């Protein structure tokens, strides 16, 4: 299969490139400099040249606070860009996968969100991603939307790497304990996406199994690394975030499991990630 991946230099994009290369597919990776998905003419020319069987759109503007300040840029990248890709995918009969987020939900409930639940984003990031989903599905009825959450992977700016760096220099770290979600390892997400290619199109929630608070996530990181750093639980209000975050954005994986795809527990994925990222040995 000939696969074109946008956002290929991001933490998920890099993992997708590796997974599909190892699968024997022909992979065409494009980063933002090589393919700005908000440039419709560039998309038309590139897709005519590459002739992919599948596009995986992993390009996104994910800086939640900056989205509030750069509203136009957020909507361009998270909504208009996916719309352009969908138009050309439909025109050229190319299968399209689009990566989305738990931020399309309000986070104001205490049971996992299913794919069919009403979306109520509370931020520009969430609203722009929801619009991207709607535009893609309005154009490509057979597109696949993959919603995920709390993503971390190699070479990326993510919570895990932030805690690692902070623990090297601080005796204690303050972490919010009243936001709950599903930590997701890019390797596990990428493998699930590979399996979803053979499944019916539609919206899928794809995260590692289990859930935790950011505080519990940080505790597990420090525990695996066996560092003396103390993690201090605080409230979101105490932390003083500029932009609201979902208090509960746990995604249900039932539809995924109904399609015979299962992701391991988030603690197992984290252990493997840290083993590779920090090059530590079992028992040390």
More confident of the two residues 154 and 5: 5
Longest pairwise C-alpha distance within the chain: 57
Active site residue 125: yes
| Beta strands 180-181; 212-213: pairing state | antiparallel
Model confidence at 277, pLDDT cuts 50, 70, 90, reads: confident
More confident of the two residues 75 and 156: 75
Q: Residue 284's pLDDT is what? A: 47
The class that CATH gives domain 2-157+184-210+249-264 is: alpha beta
Predicted TM-score (pTM) of this structure: 0.95
Could you read off the pLDDT of 24-71 as tens digits, one per residue? 999 999 999 999 999 999 999 999 999 999 999 999 999 999 999 999
- Asked whether residue 282 carries a pLDDT value surpassing 90, the answer given is no
Instruction: Work out the percent of the chain whose per-residue pLDDT is above 70.
Output: 98
Q: Residue 201's pLDDT is what? A: 97
* Burial zone of 259 (CB within 10 Å; 0-12 exposed, 13-18 middle, 19+ buried): middle
Could you read off the pLDDT of 219-234 as tens digits, one per residue? 999 999 999 999 999 9
Instruction: Kindly state the average pLDDT of the residues 11-18.
Output: 97
Q: Residue 87's pLDDT is what? A: 97
Catalytic residue among 84, 125, 152, 204: 125
Q: 């639940």: which residue's tokens? A: 117
d(CA 232, CA 234): 6
188 Cβ contact partners less than 8 Å away, ≥ 6 residues apart: 208, 263, 264, 269
d(CA 193, CA 180): 24
């Amino acid at each position: 299969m000939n696969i074109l991946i946008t956002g290929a230099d991001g933490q998920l994009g890099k993992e997708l490139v590796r997974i599909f290369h190892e699968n024997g597919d022909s992979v065409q990776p494009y980063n933002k400099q090589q393919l700005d998905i908000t440039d419709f003419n560039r998309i038309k020319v590139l897709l005519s040249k590459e002739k992919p069987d599948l596009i995986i759109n992993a390009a996104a503007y994910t800086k939640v606070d900056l989205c509030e300040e750069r509203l136009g840029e957020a909507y361009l990248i998270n909504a208009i860009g996916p719309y352009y890709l969908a138009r050309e995918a439909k025109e050229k009969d190319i299968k399209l996968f689009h990566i989305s987020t738990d931020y399309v939900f309000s986070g104001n409930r205490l049971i996992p969100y299913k794919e069919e639940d009403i979306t109520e984003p509370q931020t520009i990031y969430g609203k722009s991603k929801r619009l991207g989903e709607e535009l893609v599905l309005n154009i490509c009825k057979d597109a696949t939307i993959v919603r995920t959450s709390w993503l971390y992977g190699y070479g990326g700016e993510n919570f895990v790497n932030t805690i690692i760096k902070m623990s090297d220099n601080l005796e204690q770290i303050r972490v919010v304990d009243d936001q709950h979600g599903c930590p997701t390892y890019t390797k596990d997400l990428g493998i699930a996406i590979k399996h979803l290619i053979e499944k019916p199109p539609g919206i899928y929630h794809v995260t590692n199994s289990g859930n935790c608070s950011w505080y519990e996530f940080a505790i597990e990181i420090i525990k695996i690394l066996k560092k003396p750093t103390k993690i201090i639980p605080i409230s979101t209000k105490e932390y003083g975030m500029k932009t609201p975050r979902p208090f509960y954005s746990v995604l249900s994986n039932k539809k995924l499991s109904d399609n015979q795809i299962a992701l391991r527990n988030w603690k197992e994925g984290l252990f493997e990630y840290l083993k590779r990222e920090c090059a530590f040995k079992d028992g040390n």
